A = this chain, B = another copy of it.
Amino acid sequence: MERIGFIGLGIMGRPMAMNLLAAGASLTVHSLNTDAIDELVGAGATRGGSSQEVAASSDVVITMLPDTDDVEEVMLGAGGVIEGATDGSLAIDMSSIDPGPTRVIAEAFAAKGVAALDAPVSGGEKGAVEATLSIMVGGTPEAFGRARPVFDAMGASIVHVGPSGAGQVCKACNQLVVAATIEAVAEALLLAERSGVDPAKVRAALLGGFAGSKILEVHGQRMLDRAFDPGFRVRLHRKDARIVEAAAAETATPIPSFAVVTEQLQRALDAGDGDRDHSALFAELERESAAPSG
Query: Are B177 and A122 within 8 A (Cβ)?
Result: no
Q: Chain A at the B interface: mostly helix, strand, loop or mixed?
A: helix
Does A38 interact with chain B (Cβ within 8 Å)? no
Chain B CB within 10 Å, residue with most, of A170, A184, A210, A248: A210
User: Which 7 residue pairs of A and B lie closest in terms of their CB atoms, listed nearest first?
Assistant: A213-B213, A180-B184, A252-B290, A194-B251, A173-B188, A177-B211, A159-B205
* Known contacts A169-B195, A251-B191, A255-B191: A180-B180 contact under CB 8 Å: yes
A255 in contact with B134 given A201-B170, A206-B174 (CB within 8 Å): no
Q: How large is the interface on A (under 10, 10 to 19, 20 to 34, 35 or more residues)?
A: 35 or more
Q: Given A99-B195, A202-B161, A204-B159, are A213 and B248 neighbors across the interface (CB < 8 Å)?
A: no
Question: Could you tell me which A residues sit within 8 Å of B by CB distance?
Answer: 99, 122-123, 134, 136, 138, 157, 159-163, 165-166, 169-170, 172-174, 176-178, 180-181, 183-185, 187-192, 194-198, 201-202, 204-206, 208-216, 218, 244, 247-248, 250-261, 263-264, 285, 288-290, 292-293
Report the bound CA distance from A194 to B253 in whole Å: 7
